[in-house]
Structure 1
């Protein structure tokens, strides 16, 4: 396993930032780490990179314990923090050469990561002259300098325009063919476009861990229906393939079906046969965004 997290907790004063979090990530795999602001995403990433330590639990990266084998973990991890720290007065090659000397890698590697991240046309410039998209590329180039097995990227596409998004997305997907990529983002479309798997955290706890292909192929749906008066749940449970009925408010019901077949026609026929009037009839969003909203609100 590239990343192993077992019952990890982190407390800041009286606040529980992470509460017994556990998950494992294999190689190669691109995993999206989602959650609302303050859910614990950045805290988890800082612990994985040895920047801070957990209060309890165990974490291994590439087989190295983040507490006992700090240097080995740092050598095997490439990290792009949310606020990409760059020396704006340095030239791109100058900045990468400075970091290469810290990692002890050859100057040839500098040219390799510049080409890999598409920085060649801008490589003669100072970092302060670059657009947001190219600064992100510099951060990625720096994270890749020592050819790490694991890349940890905190909000790598924030603030990019559509063209820059496509470029960075394709770059991350390319890197993810041979390495483990663990990235956080608020952009659901980016997760669906890049990732193999999604882990959702809310209030310091993991609330979902799913393969994207499984999420797309789940044979279930939720139909929202509003009648003109209250109906007993047991009455609606007579519908075919029903798993659950919830009266959300007034005369509105969420009916969960265990099938990929569109069940709205069955609900309509059921209402007609039982002399019920339907005021609204919709399918609830079962996409990643729908799952995220359902689990974090």
Structure 2
């Protein structure tokens, strides 16, 4: 549905994005994740036809964004970071206006506006002037204008920025309800947004896509970060010597504070993190080794790589993870 191939945008001597490529399948929600300034908004604007690319191509619903801009715009709904609203209009009046400029046939406008109002839970606000709405409701109106003409593809740029927790949950549920009947690309730097809403993730850093996969697969690729946190009675340095040569253990490190980042409960307790090797579960061996060496074990907690771990590693290190296509190729070679 959305095909991005080799997309670059250069402003003078500054490269905003470089060779960005990814696909979004029909009915899917793709999270376009990256830190502030990584190139998310630039990419979203190019996809929406708002900015021309320096090089590369974008095809949406089979049409090239550069060559068939008007046809593409008829087939997308776009919500920029600041919703494009007319504050002096009522919610319903504004949505009727949007249907006209989007080319919705006159006989279909009432049905389309009613459906958008219902999907965005704006029934009790339909006759309210937009400037009198809260930020959360204005965001809903922004989404309503993006879907009122029932486009096959929806582009949302930071749709929950500045909202309170209740409003974030409402908007998140609304976006999830659109999946299946619409193809959605959602740009954000908020990790829970991606893990709770999106089927797949594309992570961009410094203008380049460094990973594209499902959240689960991305976390699996970092299984070296899985392991255990231990609270022991005894000297952590001695316990490290006992554990670091165990089979299945790749790293043992001291934790300066208590487990979960809390203040240590007692001075005579030590805290360790044991990182296991991919595919290994050395929990039993860790317990037995500590007991044999005379250490007390107050708590042992399994920890796993999270999407936050993936994000931090990919955006603080010069590192790329294999794409889904590369993963499938490796699986084929192994078979």
Query: Match of 2:185?
Result: 182
Whether the 8 Å contact between 1:219 and 1:260 is mirrored in structure 2 is no
- 2:82 is aligned to 83
Count the aligned residue pairs. Answer: 289
CA distance, structure 1, for counterparts of residue 11 and residue 276 of structure 2: 39
Residue 132 and residue 247 in structure 1: after superposition, are their counterparts in 2 closer, same or farther (change >3 A)?
Answer: same
Aligned to 2:32: 33
**Within 2, Cα distance between the matches of 1:210 and 1:247?**
30
1:292 maps to what in 2? 311
User: Which residue of 113, 116, 120 maps to 1:117?
Assistant: 120
Q: Which residue of 1 aligns with 2:155?
A: 152
Structure 1 residue 158: Cα displacement: 1.4
Per the TM alignment, residue 104 of structure 1 is displaced from its structure 2 partner at its CA by: 2.0
Output the aligned Cα RMSD.
3.3
Structure 1 outlier segments of 4+, above 2 Å: 212-229, 238-242, 244-248, 252-256, 263-276, 281-285
Summarize the Cα distance change of 1:68–1:138 in structure 2 as closer, same or farther, 3 Å threshold: same
Q: Can you list the C-alpha shifts for 1:157-207, whole angstroms capped at 9, x where unaligned?
A: 112222222221111111012111100122211211111111111001111
Structure 1 residues 209 and 64: alpha-carbon distance in aligned structure 2, compared to 1, 3 A threshold: same
Cα deviations across residues 229-261 of structure 1 (Å, max 9, x unaligned)? 9x99xx95x64346x66999xxx9984511263
Does structure 2 retain, via aligned residues, the 8 Å contact 1:207–1:295? yes
**Structure 1 residue 283, shift from structure 2 partner:** 6.7
SS in 1 for 2:163: coil
Any gaps of 5 or more consecutive residues in structure 2?
230-234, 255-271, 317-335
CA contact (8 A) 1:117 1:141 kept: yes
**CA pair 65-247 structure 1, distance change in 2 beyond 3 A:** farther
2:222 is aligned with 1:203? no
1:180 and 1:260 mapped to 2: Cα distance? 38
Specify every segment of 5 or more residues in structure 1 that has no aligned partner in the other structure, as ranges. none
Alpha-carbon spacing, 1:217–1:291, altered in 2? closer, same or farther (3 Å) = closer
Larger Cα-atom Rg:
2
TM-score w.r.t. the length of structure 2 is 0.75
Q: Is the 8 A contact 2:33 2:201 kept in 1?
A: yes
Deviation track 1:3-43 (CA, whole Å, cap 9, x = no partner) reads 11111111122221111111111011011111011101001
Deviates more, 1:87-96 or 1:36-45: 87-96
Give the CA deviation at 1:213.
Answer: 3.8
Deviation at 1:214, TM superposition (A): 3.0
Q: Distance in 2 between matches of 1:290 and 1:18?
A: 24
Q: Does 1:5 align with 2:4?
A: yes
C-alpha separation in 2, matches of 1:212 and 1:103:
35
Q: Secondary structure at the residue paired with 2:211?
A: strand
- The equivalent residue for 2:133 is 130
The aligned counterpart of 1:21 is 20
**1:34–1:260 CA distance, 2 compared to 1 (3 A):** farther
Q: For the residues of structure 2 that align with 1:125 and 1:42, how far apart are their CA atoms? A: 30
Q: How does 1:99-110 map to 2 (within 5 A)?
A: 99-105=98-104, 106=106, 107-108=109-110, 109-110=112-113
Report the CA distance shift for 1:15/1:130 in structure 2 as closer, same or farther (over 3 A): same
Specify whether residues 13 and 178 from structure 1 end up closer, same or farther in structure 2 by C-alpha distance, changes over 3 A only. same
Q: Is the 8 A contact 1:31 1:182 kept in 2?
A: yes
Change (3 A) 1:75 1:121: same
